[in-house]
Structure 1
């Protein structure tokens, strides 16, 4: 196996005394793991930073063998890790992607969307600039892996007007009329999820609550601990920024 492609670094795990196993997302070949010799060295550590764009070259004698990986930095987002909120966002979105995507399957829409989220964080480190993009990415991830929400019409009335809630069980939208008397049992559906555009803090937090419920239930079952801890840190920092 020989593959050469640009990729977004998702995770770096120590392996052996000096090496690292790196998982990175390519556009055409999906998530690719590889062993980087000396990956924990002072020279390579700034390159193998989650969120960075690298040119990777994977080589292995068989498809089953963990490939040897060499990397060349294309674009660094390492400076963002000096700021707590952007650092928490990059930690979460890359850890989530690394945890749930199967290896070797292309997801070009996810690759483009992840690159867009990282670019938005880089362009405007305050969460108002990228919070909506992050929520949309989480919902796209659910959809691409077969757990998309049904937000086209109300599950109770069949109508398309005033969709304001989502059933936490079915993932279907519910209108204000259809939710009458049951609002407390439903998840809020922020307007930007369906209509796009910017959002207020409350809507961003509602969107994170919505996506987080289904991510934990459908994609992170049995492996949620460390990954969801990154999400908890992010939401705590967003709330502190809002206060």
Structure 2
């Protein structure tokens, strides 16, 4: 096995005295894991930070062997790790992607979307420019893994107009007319989540409430409590940033 590709670092964990096992997302070959010799050294630790872009070369003699990985840094996002809000966003996005995606399955749309959100965080650390795209990345990840939400038509009436809510049970959209009298049992659906575009903070938090609920229920579940804790830290910092 030999693979050379541009990749986004998702995680790096110590292995042995000096090495590290790294998981990275490639555009055409999905998540790839590899062992980096000396990955815990002062030279390589900054290269292997989550959200960095590398050119990786994976080599293994057999398919059952963990490949050896060499990594050449293309783009460092190290400065963002020293700023609490951007750092929380990078931690969550990379942890979510690492936890959710199986290895070696191509997800080119997720690769492009994750690259775009990370670029937005790099360009605007204050969050206004990337919080809505982050919510839409979560929505896309749900869809790519088979848990997409049907936001195009009302599950009760079939209507495609005046959609205003999401059922917390089915993930289906509900029109305002069909929701009358049951609004407190439903999740408000902000327009940007289904259609894109700009969003104000109340809508962004409403969108994150929807995607967070279904990520926890369908993908992360109880076994990923540590990953969900990273999201809780991000949401808390977002609330404090806009308070």
Q: TM-score range by the shorter chain?
A: over 0.9
Q: Deviations over 1:86-141 (max 9, x none)?
A: 00000000000000101001000000000000000001111111011101100000
Moved over 4 A (4+): none
Instruction: For 1:10-89, list aligned pairs within 5 A.
Output: 10-89=10-89
| Bigger shift: residues 158-167 or 103-112 | 158-167
TM-score where L is the length of structure 1: 0.98
Number of aligned residues: 243
What SS does the corresponding residue of 2:160 show, helix, strand or coil?
coil
Greater CA drift, 195-204 or 136-145: 195-204
Quote the Cα distance in structure 2 between the aligned partners of 1:242 and 1:224. Answer: 28
RMSD of aligned C-alpha atoms?
0.8
Q: Which runs of 5+ in 1 are unaligned?
A: none
Runs of 5+ consecutive residues of structure 2 not aligned to the other structure: none
Determine the structure 2 residue equivalent to 1:210.
210
User: 1:61: how far off?
Assistant: 1.0
Separation in structure 2 between the aligned mates of residue 144 and residue 196 of structure 1, nearest angstrom:
17
Question: In the TM superposition, what is the alpha-carbon distance from 1:161 to its structure 2 partner?
Answer: 1.4
Secondary structure of 2:152's partner?
Answer: coil
- State TM-score, norm by structure 2: 0.98
The within-5 A match list for 1:1-243 is: 1-243=1-243
Counterpart CA distance in 1 for 2:195 and 2:150 is 14
CA apart distance, 1:3: 0.6
